[in-house]
Amino acid sequence: MTQFPFNISATDGAARTGVLKTTRGDIATPAFMPVGTAATVKAMTPDMVHSTGADIVLGNTYHLMLRPGAERIAKLGGLHEFMRWDKPILTDSGGFQVMSLSGLRKLTEEGVKFQSHIDGSQHMLSPERSMEIQNLLGSDIVMALDECTPFPATPDQTKKSMEMSMRWAERSKAAFGSPSRSNLFGIVQGGTHHDLRKASAEHLISVGYDGYAVGGLAVGEGQEIMFDVLDGTVPHLPTDRPRYLMGVGKPDDLVGAVARGIDMFDCVLPTRSGRNGQAFTRRGTINLRNARHADDPRPLDEESSCPATRDYSRAYLHHLVKSKEILASILLTWSNLAYYQDLMGSMRLAIANDAFSEFSLKFNELQFSGDIGPLN
């Protein structure tokens, strides 16, 4: 039986809002998890991440096992103590990063043998080792090890990859055991094929997991195909457990996925964009590198509760970006994470008020006015 109750408080079509309760605090859903790959959300302190309204962050098994090492983190009190974050942490299994190593890895039924991108050392990541690492880290939500199917792939290649992931999911659950402070999520695979996605979901449900993730998307297939896959997958997932779309995405991806019944997200986009001079706002995306901002005294959004968004002029942010000042990354990352959390909060409110369709229409109307024209 799951240790983390998931209570849905309202629905609007397929969209839903609720709370996933954990031993380290509640997670309001739909939820966006800032990515803290190497035990840090880049350019942010934990207090700054907390100030945006984030209930949970994501850590990365692959990077942390290589540096500084899961055993070292465990000796230092676990990942929460190590990075000074007292709220829930989800750790991915490391599968996506290992599969991305191309010629530096060898895939077998046992797991993936790979060469570290840091120092060339050899490692084996199996379902059992992934569970061990995530346990050492002290993760609140643990992800089963899967093979992230490449895109594009033939139906036969996709089927074999999915079936491998299902066998690894079973081994992950056996190795996970029954800890009292964490939950295990299974990952649905199957590429762009509805029949394979359905078979994968049904297999995971028959085994039984605490939550269900949709993996293998945001790998180049495009939004239309991604939404089509969700349309063919989400209806086969349990209604009483959280649904997590891995590695997604742009603001309009989040809105479209919530409309299809997804509860949880993670993506590097808000932090990576912040480090590259791009700001997300209610009125669309703003590229602070553009010269048009050099004399603009307006903030990114004067109605925002985030100091980075509300209190600094576009002219100043443009100057910081062009000067390659570290403060540019800090302020724009902070602003972007606050925007993402505000977006999730707005969706939760819209669902609760049975007004998600109206919210979606207004959201789409506003997304084209951020980089041009006045705020009013």
- 360 shares a domain with 212: no
Q: Is 374 inside any structural domain?
A: no
pLDDT in tens, 339-352: 999 999 999 999 99
Confidence of residue 369 (pLDDT cuts 50, 70, 90): low
Residue 158 scores a pLDDT above 50: yes
Q: Mean pLDDT across the stretch 30-52?
A: 98
Chosen domain end from 267, 285, 306: 267
Q: Is 372 inside any structural domain?
A: no
- 82 shares a domain with 180: yes
- 299 shares a domain with 252: no
Task: List all residues 6 or more positions away from 304 whose beta carbon is below 8 Å from its beta carbon.
Answer: 310, 335, 338, 339, 342
> Phi/psi at 31 (nearest 5 deg)?
-125, 140
- 322 shares a domain with 242: no
CATH code of residue 201 = 3.20.20.105
Provide the domain limits for residue 45: 6-267
pLDDT in tens, 160-177: 999 999 999 999 999 999
- 321 shares a domain with 242: no
Q: Is 373 inside any structural domain?
A: no
Task: List all residues 6 or more positions away from 277 whose beta carbon is below 8 Å from its beta carbon.
Answer: 287, 288, 289, 321, 328, 332
pLDDT of amino acid 373: 43
pLDDT of amino acid 375: 37
Q: Is 375 inside any structural domain?
A: no
pLDDT of amino acid 374: 39
Q: Are 236 and 261 in contact (CB under 8 A)?
A: no
pLDDT of amino acid 376: 32
- 197 shares a domain with 90: yes
Q: Active site residue: 92, 140, 210, 263, which one?
A: 92
pLDDT of amino acid 2: 64
pLDDT of amino acid 104: 81
- 311 shares a domain with 227: no
Give SS3 for 281: strand
Work out the percent of the chain whose per-residue pLDDT is above 70: 97
Chosen domain end from 245, 267, 289: 267
Chosen domain end from 267, 293, 325: 267
Q: Is 1 inside any structural domain?
A: no
pLDDT of amino acid 187: 98
Q: Is 313 inside any structural domain?
A: yes
Work out the percent of the chain whose per-residue pLDDT is above 90: 91
Residue 186 scores a pLDDT above 70: yes
pTM: 0.96
Strands 122-125, 112-115: parallel, antiparallel or unpaired by DSSP?
A: antiparallel
pLDDT of amino acid 99: 77
Q: Active site residue: 55, 146, 266, 301, which one?
A: 266
266 is catalytic: yes
- 328 shares a domain with 290: yes
Task: List all residues 6 or more positions away from 226 whose beta carbon is below 8 Å from its beta carbon.
Answer: 217, 218, 248, 253, 257
Q: How many other CB atoms sit within 10 Å of the CB of residue 110?
A: 14
- 176 shares a domain with 128: yes
pLDDT in tens, 320-334: 999 999 999 999 999
pLDDT of amino acid 98: 81
Q: How many other CB atoms sit within 10 Å of the CB of residue 5?
A: 12
Task: List all residues 6 or more positions away from 24 whose beta carbon is below 8 Å from its beta carbon.
Answer: 80, 86, 87, 88, 89, 140
Q: Mean pLDDT across the stretch 294-314?
A: 98
Confidence of residue 367 (pLDDT cuts 50, 70, 90): confident
Residue 156 scores a pLDDT above 60: yes
92 is catalytic: yes
How many structural domains are present in the chain? 2
Confidence of residue 370 (pLDDT cuts 50, 70, 90): low
- 88 shares a domain with 58: yes
198 closest CA partner among 210, 185, 189: 189
pLDDT of amino acid 181: 92
Q: Is 301 inside any structural domain?
A: yes
60 closest CA partner among 100, 2, 25: 100
- 287 shares a domain with 222: no
Residue 201 scores a pLDDT above 80: yes
Q: Mean pLDDT across the stretch 147-152?
A: 90
Q: Which burial class, exposed, middle or buried, applies to 365 when counting CB atoms under 10 A from its CB (0-12, 13-18, 19+)?
A: exposed
- 317 shares a domain with 235: no
Residue 95 scores a pLDDT above 60: yes
pLDDT in tens, 252-286: 999 999 999 999 999 999 999 999 999 999 999 99
